Amino acid sequence: MKKVLELKSGENIIIKHLTKLDVDGVWYNFNEVIEEGIYLPVFFPVRSQLEKDSWYRNIKKENEICIVGENLDLKTPYNIIGQCEILNCEWEASEHVGVLGIIIRDKYRDLTIGRNLIDFAIRESKKLNNKEKIILSTFSTNERALHLFSQIGFEVVGIRKKQFFMESEYIDEVMMELWIDDYLEKNK
Ligand SMILES: CC(C)(COP(=O)(O)OP(=O)(O)OC[C@H]1O[C@@H](n2cnc3c(N)ncnc32)[C@H](O)[C@@H]1OP(=O)(O)O)[C@@H](O)C(=O)NCCC(=O)NCCS
């Protein structure tokens, strides 16, 4: 399944499931966000092709959801302008729960791509993986992400105080969750 999102600029973004050809673009975005240094609790970029490929194989083996936004006018790896994953929970008894992560490339933020990738990923995770609930966590300092997640309907279920220490400062972790049926009811 695919969807086309037309941006205000006139650019078309294809929203679709991850394929092997998209792996370099996904990791390019990840490494760029790591270099920004304020959004993810990771210090080092991933450069190893082995690691990138094994991540891809694992996603496919576990039937996990990774939705990407692609600009067909750009060459790899720049064509993948964002990604949203809904991964399985580590616990066998939590098969109904998906764990969401999302990254949109800097230049493409605030254009509704994040919202559209999340919407697509939520729907696919129910349809393909029988997920019922989506959980995520974010830095308490990430105002844009908190705004977007709340607007979609995620509710704050807890705060882990000083969970991260970055750039000589502690940061709280905000944990949020969303019931998919409630979301679908409100977004028919
Ligand atoms: C967070 C992120 C995924 C959102 O994706 P996006 O495509 O930029 O999101 P959208 O354009 O769909 O929506 C952004 C919303 O945040 C709002 N926003 C932007 N900056 C904001 C700020 N500083 N404070 C509050 N709201 C803000 C926008 O106005 C928009 O809301 P609106 O639709 O009510 O106007 C993306 O910006 C990103 O990848 N950021 C860096 C990595 C990251 O933080 N990942 C999430 C880690 S949990």
In the predicted structure, residue 173 carries a pLDDT above the cut 90: yes
Contacts of 5 (CB under 8 A, 6+ apart): 12, 13, 14, 15, 69, 112, 113, 116
Q: What's the CATH class of domain 2-186?
A: alpha beta
Q: Which atom of ligand 1 is nearest to the CA of 143?
A: 24
Residue spans per domain, the chain: 2-186
Checking if the pLDDT of 122 tops 90, the result is yes
Share the mean pLDDT of the chain. 97
Chain segment 144-171, per-residue pLDDT in tens: 999 999 999 999 999 999 999 999 999 9
115 lines ligand 1 (CB under 6 A): yes
| C-beta 106 within 6 A of ligand 1 | no
Ligand 1 atom with the smallest distance to the CA of 137 is: 48
Q: How confident is the model at residue 59 (pLDDT cuts 50, 70, 90)?
A: very high
**Burial class of residue 80 in the structure, from the number of CB atoms within 10 Å of its CB (0-12 exposed, 13-18 middle, 19+ buried):** buried
